[in-house]
Structure 1
Amino acid sequence: MLRCLVIDDERIAREGLLEFVKQFDFLHPVGDYANALASIDLIKNKEVDLIFLDIEMPGIKGIKFAEMIGDLPVMVIFTTAYPEYALKGYKVNAIGYLLKPIFFEDFEKAVLKAKKWHELMHTDDGESEYLFFKENGVSHRIVVEDIMYVKSLQNYVQLFLKDKRVVIVHNTLKAVQELLPAKKFIQLHRSYLVQKACITSIDGQFAHVHSTALPIARDRKQLLAELLTQRAAGDF
């Protein structure tokens, strides 16, 4: 089931898309908005799989909004009366582009593509959690267990992976922390998140991930001591 959100400043356009959505048993509407920013909490809470997003709207434009949510696990199909936006739309990894007036046949092709893409993203061994992070306009499927630690570089973060890759993401450390499971990751310092299971040793000032020493903030030392106790007890 794909949970769908319609964002368009024109009420008639929203109603038309919702009528199309009702024709497919694998689509479930979760809301419609005239203003994109009003939907941000719903999207951040991972309650949406697919957004039908208008481009030309008062306030924040659809392209800009798609860039804002680019690192969240949600698919975007642009809906617009302006064909010149197509290239920009695909640069922000939209999976579809519907030109108004939207015909049912075109809508059907777009949502079937979304369904296939969603199934591909969620085909796994049933155990691994993963997220999509965008680097230089390309989305990378990253298994959460493969992230050893995350380093903040102001408006960017670096994801250090077990296979020695480093993925650079245009996002804040706080935003990435919200995506990662809190039970598995801990913030050691204002610039570092680390996967608890990847900490190989702690020497007071630093937590070591193999040969890499990550600084520990003073207010984190007690928490790290508790983690060591948990590890000794076999809790992680």
Structure 2
Amino acid sequence: MSELKIAVKRVMLIDDEPAAINHLRSVINTFDELEIIAEIGDGRKAIKEIIKQKPDIVFLDIEMPEVTGFEVAKVTEDISYQLVFVTAYDHYALEAFDTKAIDYLLKPVRPSVLKKCINKILHQEDMALEALEEQKGQSDSLVLSDGKAMRVVNQRHITYIEGIGRYRCIHLNQAGIDLHRMPTIVSGTTLDDFESQLSTSAFTRLHRSFIVSIEQIVEISVESRRHYVSLIEGDMKIPVARAKVSELKSALNKGQ
């Protein structure tokens, strides 16, 4: 009887730091479903090899000399592969999800986080269905999607949601950061949709661009006749629309 063959996905590792590639390789090689077909240290060669070899999965660094990871992704966007950015900097998250990336991993990447990412790629459809089922059974959780990947986020882990252009940034508290390994999750869900899904007793819409966790608010201040709130976590002062000031005070009084 012939052995059952496993469908193997072809992987390309692109990073100008050999240590980073070594780390990725050590984890990826534990998966029978994956085969590393190339390890590349610069963006120019990466573009040529992606076009030539057409990998199934690409793990791509962002900051590289001459040609950045974003430029590699842009030039090769018409080629069908699953893209995972691996970088030491979290401030690229918004730009990363404007590409076709399905995940964004921060260095140093823990093996458990990398394995979770790989399993998500290998079983993406099943995981999406599981996430939706979990959402049905947990009224305090949200399923966040950027159109490529899905995350289940507990409402208690959200400090505030900010609208920036076409995207919304979900800012997490420390418990959420520890769980998801990132301070901010980027989603294509509209603020209006978030407002309809979030608990009205726990969140309030302060401004057309902001929804805030009520329990995170520690201060209301007035500067140049404009109201702002300060939160327990983070230094940012969030603006309050004039029409929302009374509603905010009422929400805070109910929470006392």
Calculate the TM-score normalised by the size of structure 1: 0.48
